[in-house]
Structure 1
Amino acid sequence: MSTIDTAKPATAAQAAHVAGSAGNSSHDVVAAAAALVPALRARAAETDALSKLPDATIADLQKARLFDMVRPQMYGGLQVSYETYLDALIEVARGDGATAWTLGLISTGMWLVAVSYPKHVADQVFGQNPNVRICGALGPRKAKTRRVAGGYVIEDGLWMYNTGVYHSQWDQLGIPLVDDAGTVIGRGAALLPVSEITLLNDWDTIGLRGSGSTSVTVKDVFVPDERIVSMSRTVQDDYAATHLTDMLPYRMPMVPTLAIRLVCSMVGMARAAVELFMEKIGTRGIAFTIYEKQDDATVTHLRIGEATAKIDAAESILRQAIRILETSTERREKMSAQQRARIWRDAGFASRLIWEGVDQLAGASGTAFINRNAPMSRIWHDVRVAYMHGGIYIDTCYEVYGRVAAGKSSVSFMLPEQG
């Protein structure tokens, strides 16, 4: 799809595509997401001031059933296809990048918990609250745990960037797994009620302000074994959710799935930038030139061509990765470490293309861009912060793939060892 062609509300053709791709429900999440764009744009200042999503936005997302996209169908979810999920995130991000980023990270938390725990735990999490939301932070800044009868005590821990924690009931936090002597024997994740976590309210950033990705601490909290998962098992696709193994979305390997999810909303932010740029070029000139309208200048046409090519290429990379991921999972083919690293690399590369495209458009947007409250400035800052996420940090993506391709260890605990 072209960013210029699609920089508008969902069309009837797009709605038909979505209805066909959703498969498991007649509810059109993409059309529902597109309908929210005006309201999300109108709340931009409020969202930034709060440093989290307004209650009205959470209510809108819930009413549109966007939190249900990855919720298992057996718990009342829509369980949409990955491409439908991408299309919905794109539409939300056209309205507001921070809202889409938060929705994406909460959805990711719900997916990860859905695959990580056995049915009796899933029943507690998903079955007891039809509107449950889950966040997570797998990489602790510090964490000290103690093995006790029946589980672990998190004695002291700090986790940064808990996107969506203000709007979630559960938080999945990465912890060290230790034996009775206190020796670290592996990496794990603990699922805790948000009521047992302290929010530090320290999210004060240049972009994605509304994501409310605050740091959290935990002190002297017991977590039962049933809510502890081994990350070494998870990265090997050894999921405890055996009740979901017949359902394709919950058999996908973790790292490719999560890497793609991080970039989905960035595509929508980029589309918003293209849409805004195209709206303005006929209303302003180019200073110190003969051009009274920017859209008469050849340099403008070149900028549009290059920026949209990068953004379209990034979207194509994501859609191709989704097709590979879904085809492999459908065939029950276990992805090699190199295949996983390749999709991870491609997600990072797609994020770089998006950043470069948006940066080019912002740079050609005139002096109005420097206004802190200008829409293009806000998009530019949101994309920049998203691009800096450690999960798609481009140097890491390149190095991990390069090492695995060269037959060496990946230097990342997020990939299984090569067989």
Structure 2
Amino acid sequence: MSPDNRKKKSANIPTRKEIIQAAADLVPILRERAEEAEDLRKMPDETIEDLKAAGIHKIFTPQRYGGYEMEWGTHVDVARELGKGCASTAWTSSVVMSHTWILGRFPVEAQEEFWPSCPDAIVGTAFAGGGGMEETEGGFILNGLWRFSSGIDHADCALVAGRFANKETVASGGTALEYRMALIMPDQYEIIDTWHAEGLKATGSKDVKVVDQFIPFHRTAKSIEISGNSPPGAQLHDSYIYRVELNMFFSTLLSGPMLGATHGIMQEYLEQTRSRFGAL
């Protein structure tokens, strides 16, 4: 499928400073909801609505589909603010909502099929654990069980990786397996509630199970291609973020939540001890 030259440019894209301020403005309400979020073991619906109202879910969504396509590092600053109120919300904003960046690297046909009908998408991922793909006519049959899929309860789709034995490689006597990523819809996977952690409870990092689901070829790509500097869907977008090697950038998704939560703990300690006098 060849992309046309029409690109939907987002209206009213906030500046980096503005979206960081929008995150900072949410801190008081996030503090109020922190206990509820822990009890739910997932993000409260109201918090997801607040994050979307602030545009935080669109930081790395391509402009072609109504997103902001912002500079790399914006997610760190945003999560650093949110973490002052709720570490799980910071994790969700940075780790989960940044997955639109990965979907923006997928094959052209997959993006053109998905984004127009779901421009406000939250994209889940599940890579820990494992699965496998078996080639069939027009695509693959996917099976697997993956762990730690943060934010999956609020996801509009998910990206998973599965092992695939290339028939041509096997036929020539090779045994090497390759990994492919697949874009799957909510009706293709089961969410298994296994998330009973002591920390980051509200990230809802549950298991995802897929049984005998057909995935069209265009909704898959080799993992090495998606993570490289020339992924199949990068041609659709202007920003460099869809063409850089993924791994060295991916690790920064954790930076903002850690910095924000540390700052929040320090602030809480200072507030609790500011009026304390005398011996313990």
Residues 138, 189 of structure 1: 8 Å contact kept: no
Counterpart of 1:315 in structure 2 is none
Which residue in 2 is equivalent to 1:200? 192
More RCO (CA 8 Å, sep 6+)? 2
Q: Are 2:94 and 2:253, in contact at CA under 8 Å, matched by a contact in 1? A: yes
2:117 aligned partner: 128
Taking structure 2 as the reference length, the TM-score comes to 0.87
Q: 2:92 aligns with which of 72, 86, 102?
A: 102
Give the 5 Å matches for 1:131-142: 131-139=120-128, 141-142=129-130
Shift of 1:233: 2.0
Residue matched to 1:143: 131
2:100 partner SS: helix
Q: Within the alignment, does 1:237 sit opposite 2:225 as a pair?
A: no
Residue type matched to 1:213 in 2?
A: S
Provide the TM-score with structure 1 as the length reference: 0.59
User: What is the rounded CA distance, in whole Å, between the counterparts of 1:150 and 1:212 in structure 2?
Assistant: 34
- Alignment partners' CA distance in 2, 1:84 and 1:236: 22
For residues 85-134 of structure 1, the C-alpha deviation after alignment (integer angstroms, 9 at most, x for no partner) is 2211111111100111112222232111111x133321222211121110
Structure with greater helix percent: 1
Distance 2:111 2:88 in 1: 28
Per-residue deviation, 1:191? 0.8
**Aligned-residue offset at 1:72:** 0.9
- The AA in structure 1 aligned to 2:39 is A
Query: What is aligned with 2:183?
Result: 191
Partner of 2:113: helix, strand, or coil?
helix
Shift of 1:61: 0.6
Answer yes or no: is the 8 Å Cα contact 1:105–1:135 preserved in 2.
no
Q: Which residue of 2 aligns with 1:34?
A: 24
Q: 1:59 aligns with which of 49, 72, 75?
A: 49
1:262 paired residue number: 254
In 2, Cα distance between equivalents of 1:236 and 1:193: 24
Deviations 1:282-316, CA, capped at 9 Å, x for gaps: 3335xxxxxx17xxxxxxxxxxxxxxxxxxxxxxx
Amino acid at match of 1:129: C
* Percent of residue pairs bearing the same amino acid type: 25
Shift in Å, 1:26: 4.5
Provide the C-alpha distance between the structure 1 equivalents of 2:274 and 2:84, rounded to a whole number of angstroms. 21
Which residue of the partner structure matches residue 40 of structure 2? 50
Q: Is the 8 A contact 1:102 1:211 kept in 2?
A: yes
Report if the CA contact (8 A) 2:62-2:237 is conserved: no
Match of 1:161 in 2: 148
Q: Is the 8 A contact 1:176 1:184 kept in 2?
A: no
CA shift for structure 1 position 55: 0.7
Secondary structure of the structure 2 residue equivalent to 1:42: helix
Separation (CA, whole Å) in 1 of partners of 2:35 and 2:163: 40
Q: Partners of 2:58 and 2:234 in 1: how far apart?
A: 21
Contact in 2 for aligned 1:70/1:80 (Cα 8 Å): yes
Q: Give unmatched runs, 5+ long, in structure 2.
A: 1-11
Is the counterpart of residue 114 in structure 1 residue 104 in structure 2? Answer: yes
Residues of 2 paired with 1:144 and 1:80: CA distance?
A: 34
Quick one: distance in 1 between partners of 2:102 and 2:15?
25
Distance 1:166 1:184, change over 3 A: farther
RMSD: 2.1
Q: Match of 1:82, SS?
A: coil
Contact 1:165 1:194 in 2 (8 A): no
- Report the Cα distance in structure 2 between the residues aligned to 1:84 and 1:260, rounded to whole angstroms: 11
Number of the residue aligned with 1:214: 206
Greater strand share, structure number: 2
Letter in 1 for 2:257: S
Moved more, 236-245 or 176-185: 176-185
Task: Give 1 or 2 for the bigger CA radius of gyration.
Answer: 1
